[in-house]
Chains A and B, each alone.
Chain A
Amino acid sequence: DTEVTQTPKHLVMGMTNKKSLKCEQHMGHRAMYWYKQKAKKPPELMFVYSYEKLSINESVPSRFSPECPNSSLLNLHLHALQPEDSALYLCASSRGTASSYEQYFGPGTRLTVT
């Protein structure tokens, strides 16, 4: 199984809502990532978890809150988002965080903030 799954595929939320994005992998990977991707742009790194510990936070606003309950799961909790947060949110995993390890991406969650 070389798949990273993400739910939901699409999400529309108001600026006062609270929602969560979910990501799962069963490849035994020990590093997991959240990226934000705007149209026609490369992915922008948000967070990195290594061995279930937060390793990197790219100065992401606190309205985005990551959580790694176990080595297979990664969540992104959303609260009081702004319209400019509308984007494709991609989850990825890798065997580890060495330079030679490629990342496996999920299909993404298309988020629209109204």
Chain B
Amino acid sequence: GDSVTQMEGPVTLSEEAFLTINCTYTATGYPSLFWYVQYPGEGLQLLLKATKADDKGSNKGFEATYRKETTSFHLEKGSVQVSDSAVYFCALSDQGRGEGGSYIPTFGRGTSLIVHP
């Protein structure tokens, strides 16, 4: 079945450091890939997505490229801020399920990012 593997956290960085959070996936078809972020006390929100191979998703200085050959979707940011401290979830949608074939995201375990001033 589908699965998403994320690097274990927490990732602790100083402000303005470079960020990479690794994400690899296993899927039988051609999945869409997502990064969601969850700030403390809030729900998840979409950070970026890519729907086909070699697509690059970007938002708020974060980027991730859909690499089919390495089945990866690593999240990067050139200079993190304290306000980026949150939990980041990599997710994929691949196979339809249930009545009507709903595509339900499979989430990774989440990676906590802590940024110090």
What bracket does the count of chain A residues touching chain B fall in? 20 to 34
Which residues of chain A are near B17, meaning CB under 8 Å? none
Apart from A42-B109, A53-B99, A99-B94, 4 more pairs, CB < 8 Å: A48-B104, A50-B100, A90-B43, A102-B46
Indicate which residue in B43, B94, B96, B104 contacts A105 across the interface (CB closer than 8 Å): B43
B93→A106 contact, CB < 8 A: no
Indicate which residue in B46, B99, B103 contacts A99 across the interface (CB closer than 8 Å): B103
Those of B87-111 within 8 Å (CB) of chain A:
89, 93-94, 96-105, 107-110
How far in angstroms is the closest Cβ of chain A from B32? 5
| In the complex with contacts A100-B32, A100-B51, A103-B46, A55-B102 CB distance below 8 A | yes
Which residues of chain A are near B107, meaning CB under 8 Å? 42-43
B44→A105 contact, CB < 8 A: yes
> Does A31 reach chain B (CB closer than 8 Å)?
yes
Give A50 to B96 CA distance when docked, in angstroms: 13
Contact with A along B14-31 (1 / 0, CB 8 A): 000000000000000001
Contact with B along A87-114 (1 / 0, CB 8 A): 0001010000111111111111000000
Give A56 to B45 CA distance when docked, in angstroms: 22
What bracket does the count of chain B residues touching chain A fall in? 20 to 34
Give A107 to B113 CA distance when docked, in angstroms: 20
Give A50 to B89 CA distance when docked, in angstroms: 24
Which residues of chain A are near B108, meaning CB under 8 Å? 42
A108→B102 contact, CB < 8 A: no
B99→A41 contact, CB < 8 A: no
Which residues of chain B are near A50, meaning CB under 8 Å? 98-100, 102
Indicate which residue in B34, B98, B109 contacts A55 across the interface (CB closer than 8 Å): B98
Give A94 to B49 CA distance when docked, in angstroms: 14
How far in angstroms is the closest Cβ of chain B from A107? 5
Which residues of chain A are near B96, meaning CB under 8 Å? 97, 99
> Does A45 reach chain B (CB closer than 8 Å)?
yes
Contact with B along A23-62 (1 / 0, CB 8 A): 0000000010000000011110100101101111000000
How far in angstroms is the closest Cβ of chain B from A54? 8
